[in-house]
Structure 1
Amino acid sequence: MTISKNEYKKMADKASPGTTYGKNMFFAFVVGGGICALGQALANLYVRYGLELKDARAWVSISLIALSALLTALKIYDNLAKHAGAGTLVPITGFANSIVAPAMEFKSEGYVIGMGGKMFVIAGPVLVYGIAASILYGLIIWFFHLY
């Protein structure tokens, strides 16, 4: 049976679910904003209990990374991401999720080969590029005495 391009396109369009942009944007905004609001609430809480603002911001980062890793390990973060989409990609929580998720997926292969080896499958290229770029930019600044 031979199918023309037009017939295939009609079949694919019929089988493909429609995209609800408004709903997706709403949930991304609410969840992403909620993560940011949680970070601000944590910062306020840490300052209230005696930390300097600079230290409180560091503890907010640590808290959000730990919470994101824990929720990923419990498979809650992935379920949240199904509904929130891009809203869960707030950089610090999304990056923590991208490291923990592959590690949890390959946990059955062992701690060293499975979890340790697969932990940076997604995040590895980002880390390599970021580190290499920062070294290159640092050398350029040092060489031209721009700072």
Structure 2
Amino acid sequence: MNINLSKTQYSEMYKEASHGTKWWITIPKAFFFGGLICMIGQSIFNMYSYFGLDKDASAMATSVSLVFLAALFTGLGWYDRIAKHAGAGTLVPITGFANSVAAPALEFKTEGMILGLGAKIFIISGPVILYGTLASIVYGIIYYFFLR
């Protein structure tokens, strides 16, 4: 199927299909929800510290708890509902990473454990892991040879 549109026609279609973002609403909401997630994380950290874990163990347990809760909320369908209102506020903290792993796992589980779940679980977060790892290697080499 070949569609020939003039620049004017395309511009009109684009204007009809897109709507402007109300940034004065979305940015404060993202800031609020991102802060709320961080506040919950700090509360979990304080709880683990109160129960006797040292600082490092509390930090690790907090990270594991936040990843677990985000994956659980994704599985229950709650994370998408929160993200609909929170926007980027749910993407920035560690919970956004957990959601980016759990969501494709749920989406592709019907294709089987290997070709669905195994092959596509890191479809969203894979590039982040790959380039983050490569960048850390490059920075490590630069530091080792030039900055120490």
TM norm structure 1: 0.86
CA RMSD, aligned part only? 2.1
Q: 1:49 aligns with which of 29, 48, 51?
A: 51
Q: Is the 8 A contact 2:29 2:87 kept in 1?
A: yes
Offset of residue 42 of structure 1: 0.6
Offset of residue 70 of structure 1: 0.8
The secondary structure found in structure 2 opposite 1:73 is helix
* Identical aligned residues as a percent: 51
Q: Is the 8 A contact 2:38 2:93 kept in 1?
A: no
1:71 counterpart residue number: 73
Change (3 A) 1:7 1:58: same
Q: Which runs of 4+ in 1 moved over 4 A?
A: none
Q: Is the 8 A contact 1:68 1:93 kept in 2?
A: yes
Paired letter, 2:73:
L
- Equivalent residues in 2 for 1:43-122, closer than 5 Å: 43-122=45-124
Q: Give distance in 1, aligned partners of 2:140 and 2:89.
A: 32
Change (3 A) 1:31 1:10: same
Offset of residue 143 of structure 1: 4.3
1:126 counterpart residue number: 128
- Unpaired runs of 5+ residues, structure 2, are none
- Unpaired runs of 5+ residues, structure 1, are none
Paired letter, 1:17:
H
Change (3 A) 1:128 1:10: closer
Paired letter, 1:66:
F
Paired letter, 2:45:
A
Offset of residue 105 of structure 1: 0.5
Paired letter, 1:53:
K
